[in-house]
A and B are shown apart, each in its own frame.
Chain A
Amino acid sequence: MSDKNWQGITRRDFVIKGTVATAGLAAASVLVPAQFAIGAQAKVKVGILLPYTGTYAKLGTNIRDAMMLRFAEDGNMLGGRPIEFVDIDSEAKPAKAQQLTNKLIKKENVDFLVGPVHSVVGMAMVKTARGDGPITVIPNAGANQLTGVLCAPNIFRTSFSSYQMGYPGGPAMVEDGHKRVVLMYWNYGFGKQVAAAFKESFLPAGGTIVKEIPTPFPKVDFQAYLTELAALKPDAVYTFYAGGGAVKFVKDFAAAGLKDSIKLYGAGFLTEGLGAAQGDAAEGVRTILHYADTLDNPANQRFRKAFKKTTGTNADVYAVQGYDAGELILRGMNAVKGDTGARAEMIHAMETAEIDSPRGKLRFSKSHNPIHDVYLREVVKGENRVVRVAAKAQDDPAEGCSM
């Protein structure tokens, strides 16, 4: 694949035409050279690959809307160039991921690639885009490998790695006084990684895993496992469930009368954005996440207000990740003043960015994974309220990354 194919304008095109234009138009043009590279309106193409159908549709929509909100706040200009979106429904189907990514890269020649939600789609996407593909920003998919073995200079993530969903949970539970813990999770890539990271911090902190109960993904029939849990009588249980599974688990857990004797903990998705569906059953459930709706910082308040105003719905962690993806792209493009050919400079600007995100301070590791605070939250009156910071500036080991 030649440079020319995927970039729209190449560095050389830009330099030649840009110089001519500058010479002709003098100082004013220096600020916005790219506009003169190809006519007056050289658009930056942002390819979006998110799910808008199926289980993850809500996540995809929120991520997209929040990112577009961030762009709109800056007048829909990236480094002085207008934006063109190429928006594709990933359907969260791994089997189609590579084909759709190829469509964005080879056919649409996008400058940036944003997506996906689903980890396995992410793997196929990153595998296609890493190296000389477009600058890619992952706004949700959590598989460790994306910024681990598959890491590359042009791959960024604004969400989290599954490691960061498990590791801070261990010490947090020990600190809360729960040492005999059952680990329950959906038995698939993400769930397994969360569980492994949890054990990595929980065991050295003095905890004991009474039993590990992996349940088949994406099945939501938990009754048999809850009976087993009741018989094991642990202090608490740490879980990984999301979406429909999380709603069902929290409700079944409460309905089985286990709330009084066993404390329920989990990775943030257990309760995130599910308040209405879970109702009272979720009261008192503690989770760890790098965001909470009630975070008391100006960036968060501003963002939540703006998001509500433009979309009519309440922001959640997915929206925050999309918003930060927009911010990161803006940082990169503004640093090179819209010159997508200045790839190295742009990547440098992005990896050193320090963002005042709604979630708090956000930086990036060497492998381009977020470094952020992780909060311990508790559901009180349907809201995820912050109990304390569970881990300050939580990093990710980026196993297998040689960057």
Chain B
Amino acid sequence: MELSFYLVQLLNAVQYGFLLFLVASGLTLLFGIMGIINLAHGSFYMLGSYLAYWLTGVTGNLWLGILLGLPITLMVGYLVERFAISFLYKRDHLYQVLLTFALILIFNELQQILWGSDVHSVAIPSLLAGSFQLTENQSYPVYRLFISAACIAIACGMYWVIQKTRLGMTIRAGASNREMVQALGINVNRLFAFVFSLGVALAGFAGMLAAPVDSVYPGMGENVLIISFVVVVIGGTGSIKGAFVGAMLIGLVSTFGKVLVPEMASVMVYALMAVILLWRPQGLFGRAA
């Protein structure tokens, strides 16, 4: 294979990494800041995709679909936090695992009831429908590049909010010492509800963005879920930087793994995770427990 082949694969890897990062960043936010294990994160990704499919169908435009869909995901996140998650902050992770596992069952059935079991797809907006020639016979869709650009924008935005704003400061403080922040007169309950909704919206947004390049089908969330967990754990829980590095690593390993060792492609990613955790049990950028 010539060099251009590896360069295109590199592009694929990075692009996949960006999308993974978008999903995983929401997960790591909940993990690190709220100490919540959220198995239903993949379901929120699925919710986003189905909303994009549904609302794009209704409005005839993906951008409008996303605009209408985001408040819905925020609201779903808020309701789930208020009526289920908020009871579990002081409980063992075990119960979070179980509750969010049950949420997966429920969301899968709701998807079935609301949208049925057909495979759907969402049209790429005409503005970004083109593609450009990459090698002599392969071209690359502009929309895929757009996804990467959107992911970079969100990554920067998140970094800015968490590091530089007052909101980010309270979020960070709330994570390390809940009682102290409460004592300072900040409503931690409201803060956590907000962060959870934000995490859900991030997953939903990833699902919406990915809908045109992915197909929209039942059970799609679970494919994304486990791999996002791997990303978060490799990077270190709670670390946005870690999620980014983890997502890129997984993007590279899974893309080149597929090409170079196809028989073991799926095993590779998990093996990578095991090796990294053996070396650094708290993940690449995680704080030692």
- A 54-97 to B, binary, CB cutoff 8 A, 1 in contact else 0: 11111000000000000000000000000000000000000000
* Pairs across A and B, CB under 8 Å, 28 listed: A53-B108, A53-B117, A55-B117, A55-B217, A55-B219, A215-B258, A216-B265, A224-B255, A226-B138, A230-B135, A230-B138, A231-B2, A231-B135, A233-B137, A244-B220, A248-B215, A252-B213, A255-B131, A255-B144, A255-B213, A256-B138, A256-B141, A257-B137, A277-B118, A277-B119, A277-B121, A277-B215, A279-B123
A257 to B140, CA, bound (A): 7
- A399 interface residue, CB < 8 Å from B? no
**Contact assessment for B112 and A227 in the assembled complex, using a CB-CB cutoff below 8 Å:** no
Partner of A257, one of B119, B139, B215, B262: B139
With A257-B131, A258-B137 already in contact, 16 other A-B pairs whose C-beta atoms are closer than 8 Å: A53-B109, A58-B117, A214-B263, A221-B16, A223-B255, A224-B255, A225-B258, A227-B8, A228-B259, A251-B213, A256-B140, A256-B141, A257-B137, A257-B139, A258-B138, A277-B121
**Residue in A closest to B112 when the chains form the complex, CB atoms:** A53
A53 to B118, CA, bound (A): 11
**Contact assessment for A257 and B112 in the assembled complex, using a CB-CB cutoff below 8 Å:** no
Please count how many residues in chain B sit with their CB below 8 Å of the partner chain's CB atoms: 46
**Contact assessment for B265 and A244 in the assembled complex, using a CB-CB cutoff below 8 Å:** no
A residues contacting B by CB (< 8 A) are 53-58, 187, 213-216, 218-221, 223-228, 230-231, 233, 243-244, 246-248, 251-252, 255-258, 260-262, 274, 276-279
Interface residue ranges of B33-83 to A (CB < 8 Å): none
Chain B residues within 8 Å of A220, by CB? 214-215, 223
**Contact assessment for B133 and A57 in the assembled complex, using a CB-CB cutoff below 8 Å:** no
A374 to B276, CA, bound (A): 51
A233 to B138, CA, bound (A): 10
Chain A residues within 8 Å of B170, by CB? none
**Contact assessment for B112 and A224 in the assembled complex, using a CB-CB cutoff below 8 Å:** no
State the Cβ distance, A264 to closest chain B Cβ, in Å. 14
Interface residue ranges of B116-169 to A (CB < 8 Å): 116-121, 123, 131, 133, 135, 137-141, 144
- B266 interface residue, CB < 8 Å from A? yes
**Contact assessment for B117 and A224 in the assembled complex, using a CB-CB cutoff below 8 Å:** no
**Residue in A closest to B137 when the chains form the complex, CB atoms:** A261
**Residue in A closest to B118 when the chains form the complex, CB atoms:** A58
A227 to B140, CA, bound (A): 10
A258 to B123, CA, bound (A): 19
**Contact assessment for A54 and B133 in the assembled complex, using a CB-CB cutoff below 8 Å:** no
**Contact assessment for A227 and B121 in the assembled complex, using a CB-CB cutoff below 8 Å:** no
Chain A residues within 8 Å of B12, by CB? 223-224, 227
- B87 interface residue, CB < 8 Å from A? no
A247 to B120, CA, bound (A): 8
- B279 interface residue, CB < 8 Å from A? no
- B1 interface residue, CB < 8 Å from A? yes
**Contact assessment for B215 and A224 in the assembled complex, using a CB-CB cutoff below 8 Å:** no
A223 to B19, CA, bound (A): 13
Partner of B217, one of A231, A244, A252: A244
**Residue in B closest to A230 when the chains form the complex, CB atoms:** B138
- B 5-17 to A, binary, CB cutoff 8 A, 1 in contact else 0: 1001100110110
**Residue in A closest to B143 when the chains form the complex, CB atoms:** A255
Chain A residues within 8 Å of B174, by CB? none
State the Cβ distance, B116 to closest chain A Cβ, in Å. 8
Chain A residues within 8 Å of B9, by CB? 224, 227-228
Chain A residues within 8 Å of B131, by CB? 255, 257
Partner of B138, one of A54, A216, A257, A276: A257
Interface residue ranges of B214-270 to A (CB < 8 Å): 214-215, 217-220, 223, 254-256, 258-259, 262-263, 265-266
Chain B residues within 8 Å of A57, by CB? 112, 116-117, 218
Chain B residues within 8 Å of A247, by CB? 119, 121, 215, 217
Chain B residues within 8 Å of A261, by CB? 137
**Contact assessment for A243 and B137 in the assembled complex, using a CB-CB cutoff below 8 Å:** no
A66 to B8, CA, bound (A): 47
**Contact assessment for A213 and B141 in the assembled complex, using a CB-CB cutoff below 8 Å:** no
